[in-house]
Structure 1
Amino acid sequence: MTDLRDMLADARALIECESPSGDRAAVARSAEVVAEVGTGILGVAPERIDGVHLRWRLGPGPSRVLLLGHHDTVWPLGTLDDRPYAVDGGILRGPGCFDMKVGLVMALHAAAGLDGVTLLVTGDEELGSPGSRELIEREARAAEAALVLEASADGGALKCERKGTSLYDVRVIGRAAHAGLEPERGVNATIELARQVLAVSALGGAGTTVTPTVARAGVTTNTVPAEGSFAVDVRVETRAEQERVDRAMRALGAVDPGARVEVTGGRNRPPLDASASDSLYALACRIAVGQGLAEPGRAAVGGASDGNFTAGVGTPTLDGLGAVGGGAHAADEHVVVEHIGPRTALLRALVSHLGAGGS
């Protein structure tokens, strides 16, 4: 059984190397730390892919199981100064601890000494995995099961369903004019932007959310804005809904005949349907009971992960196998220490069973 003190030391090493997704140099430094920690645990160095992704192949034969995680986080450099790594009262804190550096440590320790396993750690998940999606899907197609070390849902529940995501940028092009001298000569991009925001927000409903988020327009207070844009976050339960929203987004047109609307982006992650997780969840429950643990709960969540990609190519996928805690992407991000050991033991038994060809 892995010593919890070792796991906490490894978690600290990963957490104290900050890795905001948008800072490639920082993520590359984090990849070096993950590689060093992982090599010490697994006894073999990983392949380094595109500078920020890491892949371990364990054992001489083909891999049956894909363990999947990421080491990038949402937190900017300097967050550690305000919220340093700490363990107090059985609670571990630090930027990225819950999402998902403790989960990475769990995966590394669970896989140590096992064969038939590929461990893939990516560095751009929080950006939507633009550079790693093909790699993830390729590895998933070669595996019989994908186990995702994203943090658990409330109470340690496993994530058996995830909504699919689409991401868009809507740009409005108008015409500039002096706001005081001759505003009538302009085409106000801010007004047209407001119309498009309302049209887009009306596309949601029945389990689908279509949310305008970051917006901007104009350059000075005394100029009719000539250009503006806003981002759109879409979450759907089914592929049919994802396609419906996509068609509607691409059909957007300007209300003002002098304006023009351009839509870029599209579908990012397909939904993770419950059918992709059912058999693996049942197996995890049987193993938990055999270890004297309570059966983990199961949850459907709105957030997406790289597990959406593995399920999307037809690979049985179980997500949320990582840390138990809360506060993902929030200031109160934390991990409950007492669950780290039992969850890692459950994960190891699950990997061992699947790697041996069990079901």
Structure 2
Amino acid sequence: MAESAPAPHLDLPFDTEAMLDGLRPWVECESPTFDAAAVGRMMDLAGRDMAMAGARVERIAGRMGFGDCVRARFPHPAGDTAPGILVLAHLDTVHPIGTLAKLPWKRDGGTCRGPGIFDMKGGTFLAMEAMRQVLRAGVTTPLPVTFLLTSDEEVGSPSTRDLIEAEARRARYVLVPEPARPDGGVVTGRYAIARFNLRTTGRPSHAGITLGEGRSAIREMCRQVLAIEAMTTEDCTFSAGVIHGGQWVNCVATHCDAEVLSMAKRQADLDAGVARMLALQPSAPDVALAVTRGVTRPVWEADAGTRALYDVANGIAGKLGFAIPPQSSGGGSDGNFTGAMGIPTLDGLGVAGAGAHTLDEHIAIGSLVPRARLFAGLLTTLS
């Protein structure tokens, strides 16, 4: 992994204004995970930009109701079969269609706002721009470079995990342009994550005439959520993020559904948390509770390969004049899968900013060029 001289990434002509101009159409193309057509429009846009940058672009059909994916392979003397660099990114967001009206593209001093700009369209775009500038400079990367843009990361990648892992097996390194950490650091490990689907079933009745005859599924779910979140410890956390219940306000609810997320730094702690969730019981005999396990992200702990990859990135960042302290992070990414496979993986290489998943989502404009230069350094150094 030794860096060869000269270092072309130090002189590539990155331009902040040009990067913002290119990023804006991506941010204004809303692409919530559960809208496959909208994600498809985003893949069209990104695929075209990748093709214009010089990649051979393939569209991979979505499944399970999710959108398509894009695989972009850049030309290399070694061809497609040689192990290379996989740039792993997603283009789905948590923001529903219409968010752009509440969170329009807006440049304000040193920040720029918009749905998905931080998580993670900004990072994906800067990674592509890094590759484009490398090619424009006539530099041949030591290894072949492939971008895989996926469509369902925000819900745990249930339809793309097999695709991600298959592509990663052909790679020597995986680079993930998820957002930079608040201190500018990068991610060399992530916590284990499990999702659960819960359903409570009660007994319906007329809420005005025979209220006492009913058993509310909503009330039972509220009891369960309080008990579940009370199980949180420093080793394993539990949180309910989605609840849907009832249909008519004048009816005692028959069903209530919820989704729960559990996260732990160690796999053993997550496994224990999973066992507790699956052992939950209804609070009374006249209501029912069903708990099923959803998608899971395995724990990713830095091994020797990831640490060596980080050392290369840290050396590049030092020459560029900034620090990228390594850290393990909560919040899953597709890097969980590749890191757990033992493939050297470096995450958090994207743009700096804050407000992910909120109406305050924004990037720090001044981080675009330095982070793109770091990314270009990795592309032109790793061998």
Question: Is TM (by shorter chain) over 0.5?
Answer: yes
| Corresponding position: 1:281 with 2:310 | yes
Q: Distance in 1 between matches of 2:173 and 2:72?
A: 16
Q: Secondary structure at the match of 1:229?
A: strand
* Structure 2 contact 158–295 (Cα < 8 Å) conserved: no
Counterpart residue number, 2:35 = 23
* Structure 1 contact 2–109 (Cα < 8 Å) conserved: no
Offset at residue 309 of structure 1 (A): 1.3
Select the residue among 34, 45, 70 that pairs with 1:33: 45
Q: Secondary structure at the match of 1:30?
A: helix
Offset at residue 274 of structure 1 (A): 3.3
Q: For residues 152 and 254 of structure 1, do their structure 2 counterparts lie closer, same or farther at Cα, with a shift above 3 Å needed?
A: same
* Structure 2 contact 200–257 (Cα < 8 Å) conserved: yes
Select the residue among 336, 339, 342 that pairs with 1:308: 336
The 5 Å alignment of 1:265-276 reads: 265-275=293-303
* Structure 1 contact 63–118 (Cα < 8 Å) conserved: no
Q: Distance in 1 between matches of 2:28 and 2:257?
A: 36
Offset at residue 260 of structure 1 (A): 1.9
- Note the alpha carbon deviations across 1:10-44, whole angstroms, 9 max, x for none: 21121122212121111101111001111112x13
* Structure 1 contact 246–266 (Cα < 8 Å) conserved: no
| Corresponding position: 1:324 with 2:352 | yes
Counterpart residue number, 1:50 = 61
Offset at residue 98 of structure 1 (A): 1.1
Offset at residue 103 of structure 1 (A): 1.0
Q: Distance in 1 between matches of 2:106 and 2:211?
A: 57
Offset at residue 181 of structure 1 (A): 4.9
Offset at residue 158 of structure 1 (A): 0.8
Q: For residues 34 and 100 of structure 1, do their structure 2 counterparts lie closer, same or farther at Cα, with a shift above 3 Å needed?
A: same
For 1:241, the aligned partner's letter is D
Q: Distance in 1 between matches of 2:255 and 2:366?
A: 53
Offset at residue 182 of structure 1 (A): 4.6
Q: Secondary structure at the match of 1:224?
A: coil
Number of residues of Structure 1 aligned to a counterpart in Structure 2: 353
Q: Distance in 2 between matches of 1:105 and 1:315?
A: 23
TM-score, with normalisation over the residues of structure 1?
A: 0.91
Q: Distance in 2 between matches of 1:346 and 1:77?
A: 33
Offset at residue 318 of structure 1 (A): 0.9
Q: Secondary structure at the match of 2:30?
A: coil
Offset at residue 204 of structure 1 (A): 1.9
Q: Distance in 1 between matches of 2:103 and 2:232?
A: 37
Counterpart residue number, 1:233 = 261
* Structure 1 contact 172–227 (Cα < 8 Å) conserved: yes
TM-score, with normalisation over the residues of structure 2?
A: 0.85
- Note the alpha carbon deviations across 1:46-82, whole angstroms, 9 max, x for none: 1111152111122225132111111111222232234
User: Structure 1 segments of 4 or more deviating over 6 A?
Assistant: none
Offset at residue 178 of structure 1 (A): 3.7
- Note the alpha carbon deviations across 1:68-121, whole angstroms, 9 max, x for none: 111111222232234332334232222211111121121112223334111111
| Corresponding position: 1:73 with 2:89 | no
Counterpart residue number, 2:20 = 8
| Corresponding position: 1:201 with 2:229 | yes
* Structure 2 contact 47–72 (Cα < 8 Å) conserved: no
Counterpart residue number, 1:156 = 184
Counterpart residue number, 2:121 = 101
Q: Secondary structure at the match of 1:154?
A: coil
Q: Secondary structure at the match of 2:327?
A: strand
Q: For residues 215 and 166 of structure 1, do their structure 2 counterparts lie closer, same or farther at Cα, with a shift above 3 Å needed?
A: same
Q: Identity, % of aligned pairs?
A: 38
Counterpart residue number, 1:175 = 203
Query: 5+ unaligned residues in a row in structure 1: which ranges?
Result: none
Deviates more, 1:2-11 or 1:309-318: 2-11
For 1:160, the aligned partner's letter is T
Select the residue among 130, 150, 154 that pairs with 1:110: 130
| Corresponding position: 1:244 with 2:272 | yes
For 2:25, the aligned partner's letter is A
Q: Distance in 1 between matches of 2:31 and 2:219?
A: 38
For 1:103, the aligned partner's letter is G
Deviates more, 1:214-223 or 1:335-344: 214-223
For 2:311, the aligned partner's letter is A
Q: Distance in 1 between matches of 2:252 and 2:235?
A: 38
Q: For residues 225 and 20 of structure 1, do their structure 2 counterparts lie closer, same or farther at Cα, with a shift above 3 Å needed?
A: closer
Q: For residues 218 and 91 of structure 1, do their structure 2 counterparts lie closer, same or farther at Cα, with a shift above 3 Å needed?
A: closer
Aligned Cα root-mean-square deviation (Å): 2.1
Offset at residue 185 of structure 1 (A): 4.1
* Structure 1 contact 35–45 (Cα < 8 Å) conserved: no
For 2:354, the aligned partner's letter is G
